[in-house]
Structure 1
Amino acid sequence: MDYKIFRAINRLVGRYPSVDTIMVMISQKARYVYTLLLILMWFRNKFYKKITIQATFSAGITLLINFFIKQFYFRARPFLNHNAHILPPIPSRMNSSFPSKHTMLSFAVATSILFYKRFLGCFMWLLAFLTGFSRIWSGQHYPSDIIGSAVIGSLTSIVINVIVWLWNSFVLCIVQSYNRACAFVKLR
C-alpha cells in the first residue's frame, strides 16, 4: 500500500513542470521560511520570544531523535529500490528514508507555534504538510516515512509543551506559596 501511494504521487513528476518546480522549491526552501519566521518572532516581544525558544528547543530535540533513529534503523530510499522519478536535490549520502528530517523539523516548529498562535500555526502546518508531500513527490521518501516523521515531530512539541506547562505551574505554585507565607508572617 505504501508503495502504491508513493507511485500514484511520484508518477506525476514530469507531467506538470510548474508543479515540479514548486515542489523542489518547497522541499529546498521551506526551512528558510521557518527560520525567518522564528527570527521575526524573536524580535517582537517576550510572548513571541517564549514561542521561539520553545519551537527551537522542539526542533533541537527532534534533530536528536532523528539522529538516534538513523543510527539504529535503515530503510532504503524509494529511488534506490524502485524505478522512481527523482527531482533535485538528490541526496549526497544514501541515508535512511525514515525519518524525514525536513518533515520532522517542519512539524515540530509548526506544532510549537500552533499552541500559541492558531492562525500562524495553521499556516505553518500547511507548509509542513506541503514539505512532506514535496518529499514524496520528488522521490525522496515513502508516504509512511512522512506520516511517521510528522507524528514524531508533532509529539515532540506536544511533550515539550506539556513539560513547559507543568514546570511553569510548579514555579507559579512555589511563588504563590512563598508570597502567602510572607504575607502570613507580616500579619503576625
Structure 2
Amino acid sequence: MRLILLGPPGAGKGTQAKRLVEKHKIVQLSTGDMLRAAVKAETPVGLKAKEVMDRGELVSDDIMVTIISERIDQPDCANGFILDGFPRTIAQADALSSLLTEKKKRLDAVVELEVDDKVLLERIETRARESGEVRADDNAETLRKRLEVYHAQTAPVSGYYRAKGTLKAVDGMKSIDEVAALIDMALRETQDA
C-alpha cells in the first residue's frame, strides 16, 4: 500500500501514520529524515543537498525526488510506504506522479485530514498547557505562520489529487480512534474500487 497523508500542521498526521505503519506493515517516509540520512551517508545526492543546505537555501524538487526515488527502491518499501511531508506543492505532486509511473508503481490513496484552523490553534494551546514539555513550534504564533504557508503552498495539492480521483478526505476533528476508523474505511473503499 502506497499512501500520502495530507493535512495542516497539527492535524494528527504523525499519530495516524504510526497506526497505519503498524497495521499495514509499511514504512513512514519523512522527507526531512530521508534528507538528513542522505546527507549523513554522503550519497551523491546527499552531498548535493548538503551543499544547498549549507548555503541556507531550500533543497530543490529535483534533489528531493531523487532522494525519494532512491528511498522507495529500498527493500523495506516493498510492502508500501506512507509519504510524510511530500508532496508540498503541485510541482512536487507532478514529479512524484512521473517518478511512480517510471517505476511502474501507483499511489493507492491520498488521505487528507481536514481540521479547522481554530481547532488546531486550540489543540496546540491545550498541548502546551497540559504537557510539561513544550516543543519549540508549540505556540499559536508559530502555528499561524505554518498554517499560512500550508494554505498558500500545500493546500492546492488536495485539489490536484481530488481531480485525479485519488483523494479521500477524512474529518480530522474527531478523536484519534474515530479518525483512524475513518481512514480505514476510506482505504477499504479504495481497495474495493
TM-score scaled by length of structure 2? 0.24
Whose helix proportion is higher, 1 or 2?
1
More strand by share: 2
**Structure number with bigger Rg:** 1
